[in-house]
Chain A
Amino acid sequence: MRHVIVGAGPAGVVAAEQLRGHDPEAEITLISGEPEPPYSRMAIPYYLIENIDEAGTYLRKQSGYFDEQRIRVLHDQVTGVDSGSHSVALAQGGSLGFDRLLVATGSRPLDLPVPGGDRPEVHHCWTLEDARAIVRGAQPGAKVVLIGAGFIGCIILESLALRRTELTVVEAGNRMVPRMMDETAGGLIRDWCESRGVRVHVDAKVASIDDGRGNHAAAVRLENGQVLDADVVIAAVGVTPNAEFLQGAGLDMDAGILVDRQLKSSVDGIYAAGDVAQGVDFSTGGQSVHAIQPTAADHARVAASNMVGRHQAYHGSVNMNVLDTLGLISSSFGLWMGKDGGDSITVHDPDRYRYLNLQFEDDRMVGASALGLTEHVGVLRGLIQTRVRLGVWKERLRKDPSRLMEAYLGATRPIGYNAHVL
């Protein structure tokens, strides 16, 4: 069986390993669009603060690992997929046939859609190549303007501040991490960042990137007329799936490649996993793109199993994120914004930057968000994903919302023992 995997991020690498585990005889080719060995974009913030070197970002660190696993890593771009003849076309020429194809190409950052958005001072923070450029430009004392305070922007925020740059953040929404935290928690994150010396503008739209004033290379002009000096501008204004090369291949697409519970696309023999895939959403029962590492790994495992003919059905991904903004740790899970007809329990202690919001439907937890909770925080996932009826524990949580582990232990047994949740 010939397996071709396009994309060498976490989904691609985990799938390749799983395929090898399932089938020692299979031919496995992993196609990477970048020159480096397969690496983790999630590690880039730690590269920026020089906590790790480039090798520290590699997904598999043992040298010769992929050769040893007989996983062929090909550094090339796929320009097209012929779903009739089951082959992919390569940018460097030629094509590659497959029996099963996994599209794990992830996403890429959107360009800043304003005049001057393509100036040389404007960087994405996405690839190792981007990170190298930021390390060169964002030296201590440099004026850095970060456009976008979504999840990715906020992860970079910490690295830029820890590099001792003079950092200003511009967010078009009304709060920081608007798709991860509610207004109260987003407001507390902003207060905390400002108390740590980072200037934050919310409800602020960028009008253009202009020539700089004085000895600054660029100036960020906001729609409200304010002008921010910048030596480096970082754009983190959203992402889009890498799926253009699939044009004409006949795959059903929406926000990503639509896949069923087997992670199979609408075309036989072609699967998708990770940020490029729009798979079953545990919380809504619909299909969502959950561009997070745990979903990428889960997708990859289920896809690989089905690619070798071992039927496995995915129960769906729970959206979740964890973020550290200069020491204030936030996390959110599932339907953190709540569900119609549901109710919630909230702890709000702004002086100590504590926040916990639990969302329920009847006596089942469906979502949660937290600030400053680092111990046993994963149990929020367990409480949501087991769909356990909390019974008496809901009232106990209302009295003391911090008794999450007790509620879990009291109301359920460990799901790892109980069920193949995947």
Chain B
Amino acid sequence: MAMALKLEPEKCTGCLQCEMACSYENEGVFNPAKSRIKVFSFHEEGKFAPYTCTQCEEAWCMHACPVEAIVVDMATGSKNVLEDVCVGCKVCTIACPFGTVNYEPDSGKVIKCDLCGGDPWCAKACPTGAITYVDEADTTYERMRAWAQQAPSAPARFNPPKPKEVQVFER
């Protein structure tokens, strides 16, 4: 049975447990900035929306990769970044129209959701059932849309440039 993350914004309280679990399990730190799932706040409506890669069939990121560093996990259907192959060119980050592939300046690589190999920690950490890992047929983005249309902060974050080490010559 194909499984997928089901995201139900109306159940989300914005507690960010999913972000903490994701960053800890995947990056070894409790740092929401390194989470592959993000909770967006819609303060005007007092609502929250967890959002991450939908493992979409088009796989824009995978097809845009120039070095075959994004591959399909045959077991889960997730599109995974092979960290040792990724050169950090960032083309996948602009190719993904959902904005769910991020460049990580510390590693010089990109990161995205890989469903934790079929046992996603965000779903396990969610206390309200807003994120569940269920039969793919049971995930409907219609619900997401219906909710989002009534609605709308974790703003898109800027990163300060992180200087790379070069030799500076006296002029």
Q: Give residues in A with beta carbon < 8 Å to B.
A: 10, 14, 40, 42-43, 45-46, 51-52, 56-61, 140-141, 158, 161-162, 164, 166, 192, 196-199, 292-294, 297-298, 301, 320-322, 324, 326-329, 331, 333, 352-354, 356, 372-382, 385-386, 392-393, 396, 400, 402-417, 420-422
Pair B141/A404 contact, Cβ less than 8 Å: no
Pair A378/B68 contact, Cβ less than 8 Å: no
Pair A413/B144 contact, Cβ less than 8 Å: yes
Whether A353 contacts B166 in the complex (CB less than 8 A), given A293-B66, A322-B94, comes out as no
Shortest C-beta distance, B158 to chain A (Å), equals 5
Question: Does B14 sit at the interface, judged by CB under 8 A?
Answer: no
Partner among B66, B148, B159 whose Cβ is within 8 Å of the Cβ of A329: B159
Pair A327/B162 contact, Cβ less than 8 Å: yes
Contacts of A417 in B (CB 8 A): 54, 56, 141
Pair B161/A353 contact, Cβ less than 8 Å: yes
Whether A402 contacts B157 in the complex (CB less than 8 A), given A374-B93, A378-B97, comes out as yes
Pair B163/A196 contact, Cβ less than 8 Å: yes
Shortest C-beta distance, A69 to chain B (Å), equals 14
Main secondary structure, interface of A, reads mixed
Question: Does B168 sit at the interface, judged by CB under 8 A?
Answer: yes
Pair A166/B169 contact, Cβ less than 8 Å: yes
Contacts of A198 in B (CB 8 A): 166
Contacts of B97 in A (CB 8 A): 378-379, 381-382, 385-386, 415-416, 421
Partner among A297, A326, A412 whose Cβ is within 8 Å of the Cβ of B64: A297
Within B113-171, the residues touching A (CB, 8 Å) are 141-142, 144-145, 148-149, 151-153, 155-169, 171
Whether A52 contacts B99 in the complex (CB less than 8 A), given A164-B167, A327-B105, A409-B148, comes out as no
The CA of A192 and the CA of B162, in the complex, are separated in Å by 11
Pair A333/B158 contact, Cβ less than 8 Å: no
The CA of A192 and the CA of B163, in the complex, are separated in Å by 9
Whether A413 contacts B103 in the complex (CB less than 8 A), given A10-B66, A293-B64, A403-B153, comes out as no
The CA of A301 and the CA of B89, in the complex, are separated in Å by 22
Minimal Cβ-Cβ distance residue in A for B62: A297
Contacts of B85 in A (CB 8 A): 56, 61
Whether A413 contacts B64 in the complex (CB less than 8 A), given A378-B98, A396-B152, comes out as no
Shortest C-beta distance, A292 to chain B (Å), equals 8
Shortest C-beta distance, B14 to chain A (Å), equals 13
Additional pairs, 9, CB under 8 Å, beyond known A58-B67, A382-B97:
A43-B67, A140-B167, A396-B44, A405-B99, A406-B40, A412-B145, A413-B145, A416-B60, A417-B141
Pair A414/B166 contact, Cβ less than 8 Å: no
19 A–B contacts, CB within 8 A, in A order: A14-B63, A59-B66, A59-B68, A61-B68, A158-B164, A166-B167, A196-B166, A294-B94, A301-B63, A326-B164, A329-B103, A373-B158, A374-B102, A374-B103, A378-B100, A382-B98, A404-B156, A405-B38, A406-B41
The 6 A-B residue pairs with the shortest CB-CB distance in the complex, in nearest-first order: A379-B99, A382-B97, A416-B56, A376-B99, A197-B168, A410-B152
Whether A379 contacts B98 in the complex (CB less than 8 A), given A10-B66, A374-B103, comes out as yes
Pair A354/B158 contact, Cβ less than 8 Å: yes
Within B48-64, the residues touching A (CB, 8 Å) are 49, 51, 54, 56-58, 60, 63-64
Pair B99/A404 contact, Cβ less than 8 Å: yes
Minimal Cβ-Cβ distance residue in B for A155: B89
Pair B102/A197 contact, Cβ less than 8 Å: no
The CA of A59 and the CA of B60, in the complex, are separated in Å by 16
Pair B166/A326 contact, Cβ less than 8 Å: yes
The CA of A356 and the CA of B169, in the complex, are separated in Å by 32
Pair B54/A353 contact, Cβ less than 8 Å: no
Contacts of B67 in A (CB 8 A): 40, 42-43, 52, 56-59
Shortest C-beta distance, B85 to chain A (Å), equals 7
Whether A327 contacts B54 in the complex (CB less than 8 A), given A322-B94, A410-B151, comes out as no
Pair A406/B153 contact, Cβ less than 8 Å: yes
Partner among B54, B68, B160, B164 whose Cβ is within 8 Å of the Cβ of A416: B54
Pair B87/A43 contact, Cβ less than 8 Å: yes
Shortest C-beta distance, A50 to chain B (Å), equals 12
Contacts of B94 in A (CB 8 A): 294, 320-322, 331, 333, 377-378, 380-381
Shortest C-beta distance, A298 to chain B (Å), equals 8
Minimal Cβ-Cβ distance residue in A for B56: A416
Shortest C-beta distance, A377 to chain B (Å), equals 5
The CA of A326 and the CA of B151, in the complex, are separated in Å by 40
Question: Does B3 sit at the interface, judged by CB under 8 A?
Answer: no
Pair A405/B156 contact, Cβ less than 8 Å: yes
